[in-house]
Amino acid sequence: MTGPSSGSLNIVVGVTGGIAAYKVVSVLRTLVLSGHDVHVVATDAALRFVGKPTLEAISRNVVNTDLYEGVSQVRHVAIGQAADLILVAPATANTIAKLAAGIADDLLGNTLLASRAPVLIAPAMHTEMWHNPATVANVALLRSRGVRFIGPISGQLTGDDSGPGRLAEPDDIVAAVLALIEVTSAERAAAAAVPVADAVPAAAAQDLAGRRVLVTAGGTREALDPVRFLGNRSSGRQGVAIAEAAHVRGAAVTLIGANLEVPVASGITVISVVSATELASAVSAAAPHADLIVMAAAVADYRPETIADRKIKKDTAGDRLTLNLVKNPDILMALGQNRGQNQLIVGFAAETEADDDALVQLARGKIRRKGCDLLVVNRVGWSTGFSTVDNAVLVINPAGDIVMEAAGSKLSLAHRILDLTV
């Protein structure tokens, strides 16, 4: 199976009235430079923050705002109908509320209501607004309808305050759009493979139908005190791509996500965990029900022996702070030792080894120790492997043979890895 090709798509970007609107200009630019046809639908409030000429110059298309312009072309529905994907960035609490309620009192509301395209929302607001029960409920409702979210992240907000509510970084928004395009293209390709007569969604490409797939993704966090943790740089992208690829291919997928930084397609059961011990419990509860287990999560090998119940203060800790760490359970090894009947187990190895032969030797040792059926090895470093859209992997079997070597988008690699398990 080859990776889906996305080509040039019609991407509608809804820009709403938040100060973070200026950051979306760089999102538009990257999408246009990636070859996509980008159409901005801005609210009146958005144009108080960024000028229409800027949005038009960067998107290379006319910017639409007014519900009563272009009535002869029925523009209030035409833009949404033509869209392959809609991104709303920044999305204010007000826009999210309107979208949840299906309110269409401006062009963006109409566009969203008239579209069947996948929707990605990048919220930006003050922490109090993001945590307000109304916003929490609206986001949950939209998620349940298949709308995806990227961010908000924690950080400096417009004033002196900081906390969750900051717009996700533009590069991460672009990466989430591109990932969503890939998922959608894969779904379309699967649907296109089905004869029109029995075009139940994606029936023919369902080579994982009937399989129960358990995927872990993300990076665990080990608390030091109420505000600090030891963590790693895994975003969860590769694991989420595997879960989404398996879902598209008909599997019943459970994803145990540790602090995921990327949205997950609807239709996948997501269990959220934070630490390695939580991940271990969730895996041991779910594993007996899985035919295929893919351990893509980056699990902390150690955790602090004690967690301070109050913030560790430097006045008390002094010039040097020693942390005592204890070993976490090796989840993958335990799965290998208690494997269910006909259960297939895929492990991951993230290595910083630069030499190719040494990398393969490390991987051979690791697959023997872990007792899994396949080991997906990728090289990681300060700027490779984590958080990136593309990846390069090799896969070895218990005999130590390299059974696959590939580079490409994380979704295309996800399909290549799953091909080995069919």
- Enumerate residues 359-418 that contact ligand CTP by CB under 6 A: 370
Residue 28 binds ligand CTP (CB under 6 A): no
Catalytic residue among 232, 259, 328, 391: 232
Q: Are strands 252-258 and 212-218 parallel, antiparallel or unpaired?
A: parallel
How far from the centroid of its chain's Cα atoms is residue 108's Cα? 25
Among 37, 56, 207, 330, binds ligand CTP (CB under 6 A): 330
**Residue 259: closest CA among 288, 285, 225, 233:** 233
Q: Which residues lie below 8 Å from residue 28, measured CB to CB, with a gap of 6+?
A: 13, 38, 40, 55, 58, 59
Binding-site string for ligand CTP from residue 272 to residue 311, where x marks contact by CB under 6 A and - marks none: ----x------------------x-x-x-x----------
Among 86, 100, 177, 331, binds ligand CTP (CB under 6 A): 331
From the CB of residue 399, how many other CB atoms can be counted at a distance below 10 Å?
8
Residue 328 binds ligand CTP (CB under 6 A): yes
**Residue 181: closest CA among 8, 368, 356:** 8
Residue 185 binds ligand CTP (CB under 6 A): no
Query: How many angstroms separate the CA atoms of 323 and 308, rounded?
Result: 11
Burial class from Cβ neighbours inside 10 Å (0-12, 13-18, 19+) for residue 19 reads: middle
Question: Closest separation between CB of residue 333 and ligand CTP, Å?
Answer: 7
Question: Closest separation between CB of residue 377 and ligand CTP, Å?
Answer: 8
* Residue with Cβ nearer ligand CTP (22 or 302): 302
Query: How many angstroms separate the CA atoms of 32 and 46, rounded?
Result: 20
Q: Is 232 a catalytic residue?
A: yes
Among 332, 367, 395, 396, binds ligand CTP (CB under 6 A): 332
Residue 350 binds ligand CTP (CB under 6 A): yes
Stretch that binds ligand CTP, among 42-50, 241-249, 348-356, 398-406 (CB under 6 A): 348-356
* Residue with Cβ nearer ligand CTP (75 or 379): 379
Query: How many angstroms separate the CA atoms of 349 and 365, rounded?
Result: 11
Are the beta carbons of 217 and 255 closer than 8 angstroms? yes
Question: Closest separation between CB of residue 353 and ligand CTP, Å?
Answer: 10
Among 49, 130, 149, 348, binds ligand CTP (CB under 6 A): 348
* Total residues in contact with ligand CTP, by rule CB under 6 A: 14
Burial class from Cβ neighbours inside 10 Å (0-12, 13-18, 19+) for residue 146 reads: exposed
Question: Closest separation between CB of residue 330 and ligand CTP, Å?
Answer: 4
* Residue with Cβ nearer ligand CTP (149 or 348): 348
Residue 69 binds ligand CTP (CB under 6 A): no
**Residue 299: closest CA among 272, 275, 323:** 275
Question: Closest separation between CB of residue 260 and ligand CTP, Å?
Answer: 14
Question: Closest separation between CB of residue 328 and ligand CTP, Å?
Answer: 5
* Residue with Cβ nearer ligand CTP (191 or 271): 271
Among 109, 123, 239, 347, binds ligand CTP (CB under 6 A): 347
Question: Closest separation between CB of residue 347 and ligand CTP, Å?
Answer: 4
Among 108, 349, 360, 411, binds ligand CTP (CB under 6 A): 349
Query: How many angstroms separate the CA atoms of 316 and 312, rounded?
Result: 8
What order do you get walking across the sheet with 85-91 strand by strand? Answer: 37-42, 10-15, 85-91, 119-123, 148-149
Q: Helices 410-419 and 237-248 meet at what angle, rounded to 10?
A: 60
Q: What is the CA angle 210-213-214, rounded to 5?
A: 155
Q: Residues interacting with ligand CTP, by CB under 6 A?
A: 276, 295, 297, 299, 301, 328, 330-332, 347-350, 370
Active site residues: 232
